[in-house]
Amino acid sequence: MTNTDALGATLTEAVSAGKLLESSRANILELLAGSSNPAFRASVDELVAAGQWEELNDRFFKKLAFGTSGLRGRTIGKIVTAAERGNAREGERPDQPCTGTNALNFYNVTRATRGLCAFVLQYYVQNGLSGKPSLVFSHDTRLFSREFAEFSAKVAAESGVDAWLFESFRPTPQLSYAVRQLNATGGVMITASHNPPHDNGYKVYFKDGDPIIDPVATGILNEVNAVQSDSFEPVPEGEQGKVTIIGKDLDEAYFERVKGVMLNPGLLEKARGLKIVYTPIHGTGGVHVPPLLKALGFNYLTVPEQDIPDGRFPTVSSPNPENASALKMGMELADREQADIVIATDPDCDRMGVAVRNAKGELQLITGNQIGSLMAWYRTKTMFELGWLNEANRGNATLVKTFVTTRLQDAVAHKYGISVVNTLTGFKYIGGKLGKYERGLPEEIQARYRGLSDEESRAVRLEHSKFFVFGGEESYGYLGADWLRDKDGNGAVVMFAELAAYAASLGLTVPALLDEVYLEYGYFHEHSENLVFEGASGAAKMRKLMDSFAA
């Protein structure tokens, strides 16, 4: 009996004994047959020998599947095997990512990249396009993010696709911008957003710079599912793509566009006393946010301990700016320095949370709905005051939000006579609407649209299509411009800092300004709770819960 036969027999016995799921058994054998990585076999053998069936079920009960725009799963197991740890010391990142079909590792990154490349190559053929398709690869500060991004770019080039690779970590919204500016066929962001440090993800964008939606998402999924191995034969050298490192020019271009999100820089003359504390929570926000606040003239300071890029996120229990615990160090610094607001962005800088000082002098958190409503109200009002919007053109201006986001924003839109569009949950649907509005422009304008200034693009959209005033979702994601197609934490910081400056110019705190908005539009109550279901047992609980609703 071979070692593989012996392992198969042991796994079958475990299934019969109710210790191992049948799907886990099948996926273990498929992974080992489809990969030559010795760490995989060593890790499985170690977990089997130790009787760690729950860990094996969590790692193998399913194949990591494309969900909201891509893959997301554990990169560090609950139990780290000796083969995974390698030479790493306790507390350090393991040498190898988590073994498993339900984990984000080089096996699944290979499958995802090969499937994505197969899709974009077919897209070029089907649409009669010449040359090679191209993909942009970026990553956050998480464990293995750089390695996954570099490896993905290599796999893409060996598959016959040109690859653009950022020189270091960058925020997710900059990846969306890069896809558009480089006229790429798509892009990949290695990130798990605000998930715990043991997770990572593979988020896919298409040619407009927006996260994938159907039918593109289904097409890519089908190609990924067809890949059963992490071994493949590269195309002939003459047919391979090239890997190009993205330089500082694109950083500077993105930076200037984000600066332009501020509507009324003159406000700061009336709000000189406003003081801001900012924290990137060890993530990518540190690349652009502090320079942006400085360039725009805001008085700010950062949390030194959290300025350090670190995928372990050692100073927080969770790097989620929705949670008070993630803002704790920033709030403590704000109290010492008597700052007015605390702003935090998540590791890939696509979401933003805030704490604001109230009339009692205390810092309080405000919700994603409240943040978004204040910014939607301020930006709509200010665009009318600046003369950008008026009675003649307001019918072509719109707010775009998800349908689970507060209807206070609908009330704001109705008051000003602009439209409001409610989409399905997920910012990708907001990005999809912006793509639709761009395609509604005359073809001649579409051809040069990505090179237009803010003023020029606003003029053509108001005349020929829909002008995007603001977009957001209750889960702390916001966008104030359509030159990128995903939520932007950098732009959100600029927008909220301006909103706070506006309140200060009136002698108001942000909560007091929110009360003024409630007095005008009515109070909209909200309540939400988050439940976490992890691994095979968590999936079973979710199925049971969902089945109870259908009973």
Active site residue ranges: 193
Distance CA 547, CA 544 (A): 5
Handedness of CA 17, 18, 22, 26 (dihedral sign): negative
Of 516, 509, 504, the C-alpha closest to 298 is 504
CB contact at 8 A, 142 and 456 = no
State residue 285 phi and psi, 5-degree precision. -60, -25
Handedness of CA 384, 388, 391, 393 (dihedral sign): negative
Distance CA 281, CA 326 (A): 7
Q: How far is CA 219 from the centre of its chain?
A: 21
Q: What number of helices (H) and strands (E) belong to the chain?
A: 21, 15
As given in the structure block, the two tokens for residue 68 are 């909201």
Q: Give buried/exposed letters for 67-96 (b at 16+ CB in 10 A, else e).
A: ebbbbbbbbbbebbbebbbeeeeeeebbeb
How many other β-carbons are positioned within 10 Å of the β-carbon of residue 331?
A: 22
Cα–Cα distances in Å, from 183 out to 70, 134, 445, 460, 485? 21, 8, 16, 21, 14
Distance CA 220, CA 193 (A): 21
Distance CA 548, CA 541 (A): 11
Distance CA 406, CA 133 (A): 40
Beta bridge partners of 139: 190
Q: Is the preceding omega at residue 215 within 30 degrees of 0, hence cis?
A: yes
CB contact at 8 A, 278 and 497 = no
- The amino acid present at 222, given as its one-letter code, is N
How many other β-carbons are positioned within 10 Å of the β-carbon of residue 102?
A: 23
How many other β-carbons are positioned within 10 Å of the β-carbon of residue 298?
A: 22
